[in-house]
Amino acid sequence: MKDLSERELLQDTGDAADDHVKAGAQYTSQPIVRVACLFGLLLLVSLAAMYAVLGDCEPLSEPLNKTLNEPLNEPLNDTTPLFITLGDSITQIGAHPRLMGYQVMLTNTYVRKADVVNRGAAGTTTKWWLVKLPSLLRDWKLKPPTLLSIFLGVNDASLINGVDRGLHVPLDEFTANLYTMIASINEAFPKCKILLIAASAVDETSSWRTGRSNAEVSKYTNATINVARHLQLPVIDLFTPTFNDLSLFYDGLHLNSRGNIILHDLFVDTVRQSYPDLDPETLPAAY
């Protein structure tokens, strides 16, 4: 037998190694191909199952479909009741948690049962709200309020020679404005329940110089009560308890925590008596 040279031996060995590698590669690739095929099959089965499930799904409810695809032009039904507290700075501060604001306490009283929204604006009167109200009515169109309280009059009663004389609204104009506001709300939302809050008293001796007198404020309080009686609406007389206890203010005009607690309690009691279906004790949870 012819002896193989070292070069030939190395060449034969290399060729054998190449053949071994190729064979090994072919052997190794077979499981990979199987796994890939199995994965592809599982993917096709999953897609088919998803298609079948989605095909059997109920379509989205009409309001939600409209919300996703087009603007809503009609009010939503069966939603959480909406309470709105409308007023001046006394109501705006009613959202202050450290003062135990009456609106904050109402939010707690009606938690999970109604959404209590604050629409108080400092330095406002019935004259100002008469201009602003139409835009708010448009905002509330898609979710009409269930209950709306109006607490105005303290600023309207500002003395014409006082520090807030620019806020003064004559008594007859105040009364007419109140009627117009209520009529606008009733026209926009016939099912909305309305609650009036008559102007509270003031501490004329306060160093804060309220620019108001109880003799003048009481006229606006009585006017509010008369409007409520004429329209057969519930009304809260806040003048009497605050006049009898001037310590319910923190600056002679705005309610402190004790004053807010009294207003909250009167609010809930009045709702229980006049609108028993909105009694927080019996109103069902909305969610």
pLDDT band at residue 73 under the 50/70/90 scheme: low
Other C-beta atoms lying within 10 Å of the C-beta of residue 260: 23
The whole-angstrom separation of Cα 34 and Cα 54 is: 30
Check residue 46 and give its pLDDT.
63
Lowest mean pLDDT among 199-213, 224-238, 261-275: 199-213
Q: Using one digit for the tens of pLDDT, what is the confidence trace for 156-214?
A: 999 999 999 999 999 999 999 999 999 999 999 999 999 999 999 999 999 888 999 99
| For the chain, percent of residues with pLDDT exceeding 90 | 71
Q: Is the pLDDT of residue 53 over 60?
A: no
Q: Which residue type occupies 116?
A: V
pLDDT at site 243: 98
Q: Is 254 a catalytic residue?
A: yes
Catalytic residue, candidates 115, 156, 203, 254 = 254
From 20-24, 27-31, 106-110, 149-153, the region with the lowest mean pLDDT:
20-24
Q: What does the alpha-carbon distance between residue 220 and residue 1 come to, in Å, rounded to a whole number?
A: 131
Residue among 213, 251, 257, 274 flagged as catalytic: 251
High-pLDDT (> 70) share of the chain, %:
73
Q: Looking at the predicted structure, is the pLDDT value of residue 10 above 60? A: no
Half-sphere exposure of 227 (CA within 13 A, CB side): 32
Cα–Cα distance list, 276 to 252, 272, 281 (Å): 34, 5, 10
pLDDT at 71: 57
Q: Active-site residue 277, yes or no? A: no
Structure confidence at residue 79 (pLDDT): 84
pLDDT at site 188: 98
Residue with the bigger pLDDT between 127 and 30: it is 127
Closest Cα partner for 155 from 168, 143, 144, 145? 168
Alpha-carbon distance of 267 to 147, in angstroms, equals 12
Q: What was the pLDDT predicted at 9?
A: 37
Band of residue 31 on the pLDDT scale cut at 50, 70, 90: low
> 3-state DSSP call for residue 75?
coil
Crossing angle, helix 102-109 and helix 257-274, to 10 degrees? Answer: 50
Q: What distance in Å separates the CA atoms of residue 152 and residue 196, rounded to the nearest whole number?
A: 9
**What distance in Å separates the CA atoms of residue 268 and residue 127, rounded to the nearest whole number?**
28
Please name which of 201, 275, 184, 205 lies closest in space to residue 237, comparing C-alpha atoms: 201
Number of residues that make up the chain: 287
What pLDDT score was predicted for residue 34? 60
20 is catalytic: no
Q: Is the pLDDT of residue 17 over 60?
A: no
